[in-house]
């Protein structure tokens, strides 16, 4: 699991000046950015992210997501966890439901890390 003890997207913004096309990435920066992008580099997670973003109120619960992506509930839950730990989604529990929402600016930070203008 490796777990990278709690440094996620927030830390990328810390070393936000590193823009990939500027000067060579250090091994640590590359590891961080790769870890963040790995969370994004999966078709199921990209779809989940886009569905959540396009949902009414900007949030969706697991039961709304399992059918559109055609995956089992545990698998969807797993993907949502990955996205949450990577700093892309927030999780709010109301009643028995867990609502996931896109964290504003999270994707932009990745864009900037890639050297977006």
Q: How many chain residues interact with a second copy (CB under 8 A)?
A: 37
89 φ/ψ angles, rounded to the nearest 5 degrees: -125, 150
User: Residue 16, Cβ neighbours under 10 Å: how many?
Assistant: 11
Residue 9 binds which entry of a second copy, DNA, none, CB below 5-8 Å type-dependent: none
Alpha helix (H) ranges present in the chain?
9-14, 27-40, 43-54, 62-69, 73-85, 106-113
Is 91 in contact with 100 (CB distance < 8 Å)?
yes
- With 0-12 / 13-18 / 19 or more C-beta atoms within 10 angstroms meaning exposed / middle / buried, residue 23 is exposed
Residue 105 site contact among DNA, a second copy, none (CB < 5 to 8 Å, cut-off depends on kind): none
Residue 45 CB, nearest approach to a second copy (Å): 8
Per rule CB under 8 A, is residue 33 in the interface with a second copy? Answer: yes
42 near a second copy, judged by CB under 8 A: yes
Which residues contribute to the site for DNA (CB under 7 A)? 1-2, 38, 41-42, 44, 61-63, 71-75, 77-82, 91, 95-98
Residues binding a second copy (CB under 8 A): 20-25, 27, 30-31, 33-34, 37-38, 40-47, 49-51, 53-54, 68, 102, 107-108, 110-112, 114-117
């Amino acid at each position: 699991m490796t777990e990278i003890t709690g440094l996620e997207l927030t830390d990328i913004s810390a070393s936000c000046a590193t823009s990939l096309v500027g000067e060579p990435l250090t091994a640590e920066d590359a590891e961080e950015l790769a870890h963040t992008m790995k969370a994004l580099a999966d078709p199921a997670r990209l779809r989940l992210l886009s569905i959540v973003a396009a949902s009414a109120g900007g949030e969706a619960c697991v039961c709304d997501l399992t059918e559109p992506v055609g995956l089992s509930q545990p698998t969807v839950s797993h993907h949502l966890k990955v996205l949450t730990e990577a700093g892309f989604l927030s999780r709010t529990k109301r009643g028995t439901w867990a609502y996931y929402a896109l964290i504003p600016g999270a994707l932009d930070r990745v864009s900037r890390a890639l050297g977006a203008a």
